[in-house]
Structure 1
């Protein structure tokens, strides 16, 4: 019997979490903190707990993670798409980080159906190095040659991907073996594939270039739990011996959370063995892996996203926070003041078409239409209390936030900058597929809740849907 992709994804995300906990002890500390904060938040906010239970989202909190990897070649991107398909994860969204001085473009592999997201919403933010952004032609060619010599997947993992594609699934034993084999792609290696001199040249071009090119594979560089109160986690980290980044990426604290807020702790400086020019090995250091936490809010419509982007860009123009945290207080004050222009009630967000919601008929509504034998227009149902609406959780990422996390952990005050050079066509050619549009997915989820809600109300009213 074939194992459902949701189950394989759960096996993999659990195995990944256990591996990362062993590799980065502070990750375990972070999980404990987030678990405590989430329990306290639910205990203190019965309405939030009820809404999460109503939409089947409480159980997913304990397993919810996102990881991040950086690939070196289009061929690696093409194959990772095939690997993630076995886990029921598909590319959603195109992110150009070059505008923020990070020489990659990215997508997020994740489940796309509501039921799959409820079972396990594991995501992997997957970036592809853009070698064309390396100005030094010689270094660019050297990096390409180094990457062409590596194979980041085990031969057995590739065999099992082929079995999955041919047979439409894996048996239980094959699924368990697949998880173990693919885990090797994400494992940390403390030995580099390049000399220290080559590493230093790559590092001089950009720290992230050195991280991608210098190792056997795309080690997982962070694994991120979801919290219901990121401000409490930010305050709690120093008490656990963890120093968070200076400011939380995203909007300020709100009654109605929107999109995504993220924070992190500084990347680890790790001992690495490099090849020596004269043979043998030489010790050096590398900074790559860090901890990250996220709080997810409602998914915004294109109209809502436009307003969000405009407000955030305005703040970032006014106040720039240094990597060491300079101007953090001014930034947070400006952020709070500017975002007063963004409505902060579920009703306003819905009425103004700024966010996506999931609808259910209320007992009051069903009783009323049964009594009156009339179904009012849709735009009146929520106002009359006939329809209940809950926010649809944002399942994706934000380029500015991702770049901010990258820069605070891997960068310095003198970050290199690039002109905006989005190249979605080249990315999708390497991927071998189109990336899904996140707005289409949220609109579909919203409509798929509206249709049965209206059908139930119509039936109660004695009408033909």
Structure 2
């Protein structure tokens, strides 16, 4: 008897992403309105900016644009984090990067689960920003212990999902039928449950400690708290949201508007107030909870360590000059300061490449193929990448930044928790503790970009019949 073929994790990830989007659209109708607005803006940009459209077609980014999504969840225990790692592994997603949000007043640290190879990302670029609550940062010992007890008593994964995870690990994959079942079962972990697991009094105590603590501890599961489509012009989306009846946050997080975007820019609509039922309420009586929202992102070039150091310096200078947390009252001042500081960061791809500020993907041109056909007869021709670029034999496009920014993530969290919901946790980064809970090391995202860049250089070398050295 032959063993049935396993379904690709990339295929499962694409199905899961679509199922998650469909579920969230039903739970949060404004998310559907947001998707429509992003679609309108993207179509307009492609029609009015042929250079952008041409670049997306050259790199294949156009094929993933409409299916681009990232979600976010907040977990409460090491068991939940380790198990979600195993769940995402079935979908071909690995933990990339470590993000400490405590310095921004949010008591969590995080990673992003995503595909790590460019081909897998082209198939499905779905990501989930996953945060772990740091209970040790709750000052009240009694409240801290009560929160721990509540979290210890819940199970956020269905029995069948856990069984299929074990089957995947044991057999090395899932059949197409089991894969479909897995998507259905895994989705239950992310579903919204109106019924709280705490009394109204307990909820208020958790809420008073920090709104995010209440969001993590007081419910049956981690419920997806936002899904994010990718736009080609986040400024147009931000300006268009009020006309669609969507109230945007005051400040777009990340770098300022640029001709050649870098890293990640994010905005969102403000969190919805939703009805919830606490355990001590009479039948028909409802309380409220504010957590879930809609987010939009614009992704730009992935920066090298040198580029990130420059970005961080300019961002910090902007915030220091503001002398406060960016919020509705100082939004215009902050955006002006951001633009002023970032004038130091070159807005030219050639300069960014020559200065080693960003990662790029390299492609052979038609002229290069003609030259390569001749050179390939001897296979002895040597060349350097810069000469081939200058000769027009190789072109380059910036690698898309696939990850997140801790300051931006904290800004999104805070804007939906309230501008005055900040707390002072100091700087208590603890990657080792996070990785112990995770049960694995997080992957260095800079290494992934360097590998993708190098693979593209090697592909150019094969096509041209030359020997090329890595750019860096």
* TM-score, with length taken from structure 2: 0.94
Distance 1:57 1:414 in 2: 38
Residues 16-70 of structure 1, C-alpha deviation per residue, up to 9 Å, x if partnerless? Answer: 0000000000000000010111111111122222221222211111111000000
Q: Among 34, 37, 40, which residue is 1:30 paired with? A: 34
The Cα of 1:271 is off from its aligned counterpart by 1.1
Distance 1:375 1:362 in 2: 18
Give the root-mean-square deviation of aligned CA atoms. Answer: 1.8
Pair 1:166 & 2:173 matched: no
Q: Report SS of the residue matched to 2:198.
A: strand
The Cα of 1:322 is off from its aligned counterpart by 5.7
- Answer yes or no: is the 8 Å Cα contact 2:399–2:449 preserved in 1: yes
Distance 1:273 1:162 in 2: 34
Pair 1:385 & 2:386 matched: no
- Answer yes or no: is the 8 Å Cα contact 1:375–1:457 preserved in 2: no
Per the alignment, residue 450 of structure 2 pairs with: 443
Distance 2:201 2:419 in 1: 21
Q: Which runs of 5 or more structure 1 residues have no equivalent in the other structure? A: none
Distance 2:416 2:243 in 1: 20
Q: Report SS of the residue matched to 2:462.
A: helix
Per the alignment, residue 55 of structure 2 pairs with: 51
Q: Among 308, 313, 316, which residue is 1:310 paired with? A: 313
Distance 1:371 1:167 in 2: 48
Distance 1:383 1:306 in 2: 28
Distance 1:233 1:440 in 2: 32
The Cα of 1:374 is off from its aligned counterpart by 5.2
Distance 2:138 2:421 in 1: 17
Distance 2:201 2:246 in 1: 32
* TM-score, with length taken from structure 1: 0.96
- Please list, as runs of the form range in 1=range in 2, the aligned pairs for 1:15-164 lying within 5 A after superposition: 15-164=19-168
Pair 1:354 & 2:361 matched: no
- Answer yes or no: is the 8 Å Cα contact 1:245–1:265 preserved in 2: yes
Pair 1:421 & 2:428 matched: yes
Residues 262-285 of structure 1, C-alpha deviation per residue, up to 9 Å, x if partnerless? Answer: 0001000111110118x8685211
Distance 1:459 1:182 in 2: 48
Residues 318-377 of structure 1, C-alpha deviation per residue, up to 9 Å, x if partnerless? Answer: 115667501111111111111000000110000000000001122223445667895442
Per the alignment, residue 319 of structure 1 pairs with: 322
Q: Among 157, 178, 191, which residue is 1:187 paired with? A: 191
The Cα of 1:151 is off from its aligned counterpart by 0.2
The Cα of 1:454 is off from its aligned counterpart by 1.9
Per the alignment, residue 292 of structure 1 pairs with: 295
Per the alignment, residue 364 of structure 1 pairs with: 367
Per the alignment, residue 265 of structure 1 pairs with: 269
Q: Which runs of 5 or more structure 2 residues have no equivalent in the other structure? A: none
Q: Among 219, 228, 231, which residue is 2:235 paired with? A: 231
